[in-house]
Chain A
C-alpha cells in the first residue's frame, strides 16, 4: 500500500519482515530438530544393519561348521538338490539357521533353496559339483565347489537380504605333517641350484596325519633312495642344528635368526630361501627356524603371519587321503585282479609280468582321461579302447623300471644302457626283449596311470603330463631329467617321491609318506624345479648316504646313512596356484568368498 501525496512507502513491511524471519527461524529450527531425529534414526538403522551383518556371518559360520563336521552334506548334486543329506533338508525354507542358541542373538536368519514366486533370489548348493550351475543370477553363475547362500536376516523389525558365496578350497601351497627344510644356494663354489622358496601358506601338522590307514610309518622302503648322491654335509648342518624329530618345524636355510612364533616379522630382503605366506603349525612348541648356513651366507626370510594352535582341520587331509587311497577312488570299481583285463601288447619285458587295463573311470576328482600313451622307454602303442585308466602291475623288486640296485650295503648305479644286466632268457629259449631304458620318457595326456609298485624312471628321464593323473602305489623315482606339466595341470599321487629333476610342474603332488626334491640341472642354465599348485607330503624319514664316486664313475661302499626327517626342498620353488588345484578343492575347507547385502 502507498501513501498519497508523499513518498512511496510500504505499509506493513515490518510485519512482513517479522513474519518472514519467524518463518525462517521456524523452518531452521524444525529442520535442526528433524535432522537430529533423523541422525538418531540413522544411527539406529546402522546398528540394525551391523546386527544383521553379524547375524549373517553367524549363519555362515554355522553352515561352515555343518560342512566341516558332516562331510555327507557335500554329496549333494544339482540333480537332487533335496536329497536326504543336504543343506536344503537341514535348513528348509523358513527355518532359523541359528536355531541352536537362538536366545544369544537379537534376530533370526533364514534361507530357501528353490525359486519362489515372491522371491527372485534363492540359494544354490554346488559344493559337490565340478561344473558351474545355474543360480538366481543367471545361467552358470554358481562356480564349482561353491555354495550360493541367500540369507534373510530379520532384526529390529527389519529384514535384510544377504548373499554369501562359500567355496571349498585347498588353501595351502605346502601341506606336510612333518618338518620342512628349505635348502639351496648354500654350497660355495659349486653349481648349486637357486634358493628354495614357497609362495603361499604352509601347514605343518603333527606326525601321522597323512598316514591314516594304519600302515606303519617305519615300513616305508629305505633302499630306493639310497643311491642318490646327496651332499649330506649341508644337510647334516640342518639336521643337527635345527631339526627335532618330534616337532613340526619349518627350517629355512639362511642367516642365524630364530623367529618368534608370533613375534616381529623379520625380513631379510636380499633374497635367498624364503616363505612368503602364513605358516600354520599345529604344535605349540613349533618354531620357524632359520638355520645358520655355510659361507657364503645366504639370506632367508619368512613373510606373513605364523600361527600356532589352530589351523585347518585334519579332516581335510584325511578326506583327501581316503578318497585317493581307498579302492573306491576308481568310482566304485575295485581294480583288483578280478576286475581288470590283461592286455596283450606283445611280449612282456623282463620287468613286466602283467599289464592290466581297468575299465573304470579315473580317480574321483582327477581330470577326465582320454588316452594313454607312453613313448620310448615302454614303446607301447596307444590303445584303441575308450577306457583310459591303466594299471601296471610289476614284479622284479616291485619296480617298474630299474636303474640301480642297493643290496648288502653295496650301491650299484647304472649310468648307461650298457650297464644294464642282460635279460635272462625265458625257459622256452626265446630271449626276452631288452628294455631300452634310458632315456625314458613318460608322457601322460588326459589319462590316469596307476602303477602298482614302484616307478623308477631312472636317470635323465622325462616325465610330463597334461590333464593327467599318475598314481604310484609305491615310490616314484625321478633321478635326473625333467618333470613338466602342461596348462591343464597334472596330479601325482605316490607313497614316496624323489624328484631330482628340473622343470615346470603345474598341478598337485601328493607324496603320502615322504618327498625329497633336489634340483637336478645337467645344464647350469636349465630352469629350477618349480611347482605351481600345491604339494602335500608325509613325514617319513628318508635315508640318504654319502657314497664315493671315482673318476670312472665307480661307486664305493656305503659307509653311512643319514636319515632325513621331513620334507626337503632343495632349489625348488612352490607357488600356490588355485587354478591347478580344482581337483582337490572338494577336499579343502570352506572359505567365505563374499558376503554382501542384496538390494
Chain B
C-alpha cells in the first residue's frame, strides 16, 4: 500500500468516526441543556415554595395567604393552601408548577399558631 492511500483511508475512517461521534454528542446536547434547565427550574421552584412556607411560618394567622400567590418569575405558578388541622395547627401546602412537562413541586408542613390569649373563666 502506498503512503498516500493509507492516508486517504485514514482520513475517510477518521472523518467517519468523527462525524458519528459529533452527531452523537450533538444529539446529547439538547437533552443535557434541557436537563440543566429543568434542574434550574426545579431548584427555583423549590426555593420559591420554601419561601412561601417560611412566609406563612413568620406571619400571624389571619394573613390571607390561602389565595393564589403570584409568582416572581413568569415560568412559576404557585398556589398556597392553608388547611386547619385543629389545636392551633394549620397545614400549609404549597404547589409550584414550573414546567408543563414536569410534575409540580409540592411542599407541605404543619405550623403551630398559638391563639390569642383570652381571660380564663372564673371557676
Contact = CB atoms under 8 A, between A and B. Distances in A.
B69 interface: no
Given A26-B21, A32-B32, A51 B118 contact: no
Interface string A303-344: 000011111111000100000000000000000000000000
Interface string B82-123: 010111110101000000000001111111111111111011
Nearest to A6: B3
Interface residues of A, number: 67
B35 A314 contact: no
Contact of A314 (B62, B87, B120): B120
Contacts of A453: none
Given A104-B93, A309-B60, A39 B35 contact: yes
A35 B32 CA distance: 8
A29 B117 contact: no
B115 A310 contact: yes
A37 B35 contact: yes
A26 B61 CA distance: 57
Interface stretch (A12-20, A480-488, A576-584): A12-20
B118 A206 contact: yes
B107 A54 contact: yes
Given A65-B89, A209-B119, A309 B24 contact: no
A11 B1 CA distance: 11
Interface residues of B, number: 60
Interface in A1-47: 3, 9, 11-12, 14-15, 17-19, 21-22, 25-26, 28-30, 32-33, 35-37, 39-40, 42-44, 46-47
A54 B53 contact: yes
Contact of A14 (B10, B25, B111, B113): B10
Contact of A43 (B6, B21, B39): B39
Contacts of A66: 87
B11 A61 contact: no
Contacts of B53: 54
A104 B11 CA distance: 64
B42 interface: yes
B11 A101 contact: no
B62 A309 contact: yes
A101 B91 contact: yes
A259 interface: no
Interface of A is mostly: helix
Contacts of B85: 100-101, 104
Contacts of B119: 206-209, 314
B10 A314 contact: no
A162 B6 CA distance: 67
B33 interface: yes
Given A15-B14, A25-B22, A28-B25, A47 B46 contact: yes
Interface string A562-577: 0000000000000000
Contacts of A212: 120, 122-123
Interface string B48-64: 01100100000011100
Contacts of A314: 117-120
Contacts of B21: 22, 25-26, 29
A58 B14 contact: no
Interface in B1-55: 3, 6-7, 10-11, 13-15, 17-18, 21-22, 24-25, 28-29, 31-36, 38-40, 42-43, 46, 49-50, 53
Contact of A310 (B32, B50, B114): B114
Contacts of A29: 21, 24-25, 28-29
A106 interface: yes
Nearest to B16: A18
Interface in A50-83: 50-51, 54-55, 57-59, 61-62, 64-66, 68-69
A18 B14 contact: yes
A18 B123 contact: no
A57 B109 contact: yes
A61 B111 contact: yes
Contacts of B122: 212, 214
A61 B110 contact: yes
Contacts of A32: 28-29, 32
Given A18-B10, A208-B119, A282-B117, A26 B25 contact: yes
Contacts of B88: 65, 68-69
A42 B105 CA distance: 15
Nearest to B15: A18
A213 B106 CA distance: 48
A316 to B, nearest CB: 9
A25 B25 contact: yes
A3 B3 contact: yes
B41 to A, nearest CB: 9
Given A15-B14, A22-B17, A58-B91, 16 more contacts: A18-B15, A19-B14, A22-B14, A25-B22, A30-B25, A39-B39, A40-B42, A50-B50, A58-B111, A65-B88, A65-B89, A101-B83, A206-B118, A209-B119, A310-B60, A310-B61
- By Cβ-Cβ distance, the 4 closest A-B pairs, closest first, are A18-B14, A29-B25, A58-B110, A36-B32
12 contacts: A14-B7, A30-B25, A33-B32, A40-B38, A43-B46, A44-B42, A209-B120, A212-B123, A282-B116, A312-B117, A313-B115, A313-B117
